[in-house]
Amino acid sequence: MERMKYPLSRFIPGRGAANLCCSCLIISPLVIFSAQQLAGQKGEQGSQITRAADQAKADLQNGRPDLAIIEYQKILKLDPNNADVQGNMGVAYYMEQSFKEAAEHLGIALSRHPDLWSTAALLGMSEKQLGQNAQAQVHLEEAFAHVQEKNLHAAVGKQLFVLYIQANKLIRAADVIGQLQQANPSDVDILYAAHQVYSELASTTLYSIAQLEPDSARMYQSKGDQLAQEGNIPGAIAAYRQALQRDPHLPGAHFELAEIMSNSQSAAERAQAEGEYQSALTDNPLDEKAECGLASIELHRSDFQSASQHYAQAVRLQPDDPAANEGLGKALMSLNEFKEAKPYLEQSVKLDPTNGRAHYRLSLLDHKLGEVEAAKHEMEEFLKLKVEEDRMEQTLKDMHGQLLTQIQKDRTVDASDGAAPK
């Protein structure tokens, strides 16, 4: 089978690596040292160092690292062993995108102050710009583990991610991008990189299984997962059935087959889902998701008592599952056990505040219990989520329309080119 390769090293756009974090570095006490720190001497020489240090800091803040370098050179003539000045010189050269000089001075500063993680970060990024990837990886790893400043941490992580991708260390790259995603949930570049590296990992692992055991149960199960994600329900069902023919007790396969059957257009296949959920529980009595699946079937049958029993078992197995809590609350409401239902619906919206259905049901429940203000609040939350959901749906529709228009334009151009005289 052919494995798709993505240009992973280009996932995070190169927006001028030298400028990624300069604004935060200028004011960081870990990198730019004060005049008092730099002087360390008394008398006229100390005064000269203080004046030069103050001027250099002002030059950096005014975006003139070239002038700051001149001031730091003055200090080094007076105090050649001043490691703090070496660090500041490195920052200035980094801002100038003079990475060779930056690495030289930052390296000296770091050798004398090994716990200056901002210095390690800049040194690693300078080394990466110079193609010294082995040294860069060491310093970026140290900085990524210790740097606290958000912008610098993100810049370091992005550079480290690219290094791992270039070295084909996908698992390490996924770990870094996961941490970046957690710290920067609104960064679209990071989200895109996460999507792509996880897709590549999925492709790589499927390819490896195909090489090792091409006719194995796991191979067919993996293919079923892939087809299910693509929305190919008949193909996924066929793949899971092939997997279970090879191993009737393959962990997860009965549940996955039940889930995809539940979404089938075939009434017969939907009816078979119940048996697959039960088989999943036979193989693994702790399968909380299978309990939820059976509960959902009972809800559709309006057997609310059985549904509540399955959902209650699911909640016992996994108290922090928002879907299980919502389901149990819904089943208890259907049994008119309103007070008993309330804590489960409250827990569901607490665990997943973006679940509009749970907010809506909780609003109805509060209304039945006479809690008018609570009901109003939950309905407002539901309506806000509904507006956002409708907006997203419209955005996707608009995008789909634009793509269809572009496809038609491309076809028209291709047809015109084909008809052109030679």
Note whether 326 and 361 are within 8 A (CB): yes
* Residue 133 φ/ψ, nearest 5 degrees: -65, -35
Which of 156, 160, 207 lies closest to 20 in space, CA to CA? 156
Domain extents in the chain? 8-195, 216-285
- The answer for residues whose C-beta is within 8 angstroms of residue 247's C-beta and 6 or more apart is 217, 253
Question: Which stretches of 63-132 are DSSP H helices?
Answer: 65-78, 83-95, 99-112, 117-129
Distance CA 366, CA 389 (A): 24
Distance CA 85, CA 358 (A): 59
- The answer for residues whose C-beta is within 8 angstroms of residue 187's C-beta and 6 or more apart is 154, 180, 181
**Strands annotated E in 183-318:** none
Phi-psi region of 200 (alpha: psi -120 to 50; beta: other; left: phi over 0): alpha
Distance CA 63, CA 39 (A): 23
For the structural domain made of 216-285, what CATH number should be given? 1.25.40.10
Distance CA 256, CA 182 (A): 28
Distance CA 254, CA 244 (A): 8
* pLDDT score for 417: 67
Gap between the terminal Cα atoms of the chain? 40
Which of 225, 230, 150, 228 lies closest to 190 in space, CA to CA? 150
Which of 273, 276, 266 lies closest to 300 in space, CA to CA? 273
* pLDDT score for 33: 47
- Alpha carbon 346 to its chain's center: 27
Tens digits of pLDDT across the chain (422 residues): 444 444 444 455 444 433 444 434 433 433 444 444 444 555 567 788 888 888 888 888 888 988 988 888 888 888 887 888 888 888 899 998 999 999 999 999 999 889 899 999 999 999 999 999 999 999 999 999 999 999 999 999 999 999 999 998 999 999 999 999 999 999 999 999 999 899 889 888 888 999 999 999 999 999 999 899 888 999 999 999 999 999 999 999 999 999 999 988 888 888 999 999 999 999 999 999 999 999 999 999 999 999 999 999 999 999 999 999 999 999 999 999 999 999 999 999 999 999 999 999 999 999 999 999 999 999 999 999 999 999 988 988 888 888 888 888 888 877 766 655 55
Tally of CA atoms within 13 A in the half-sphere of 160 that contains its CB: 30
Query: Which pTM value belongs to this model?
Result: 0.71
Placement of tokens 């992580």 in the chain: 157
For the structural domain made of 8-195, what CATH number should be given? 1.25.40.10
Q: Does 216-285 match 8-195 at the fold level?
A: yes
Distance CA 284, CA 245 (A): 18
Placement of tokens 């996707």 in the chain: 396
Distance CA 50, CA 41 (A): 9
Which of 404, 1, 288, 189 lies closest to 181 in space, CA to CA? 189
318 by DSSP, 3-state: which? Answer: coil
Residue 226: Cβ-neighbour burial (10 angstroms; 0-12, 13-18, 19+)? middle
Residue 106 tokens, joined: 């930052």
Distance CA 24, CA 21 (A): 6
- The answer for residues whose C-beta is within 8 angstroms of residue 53's C-beta and 6 or more apart is 33, 34, 35, 38, 39, 71, 75, 85
Residue 224 neighbours by CB distance under 10 Å:
25
Instruction: Compute the residue count for the chain.
Output: 422
* pLDDT score for 34: 47
Helix (H), strand (E) counts: the chain: 21, 0
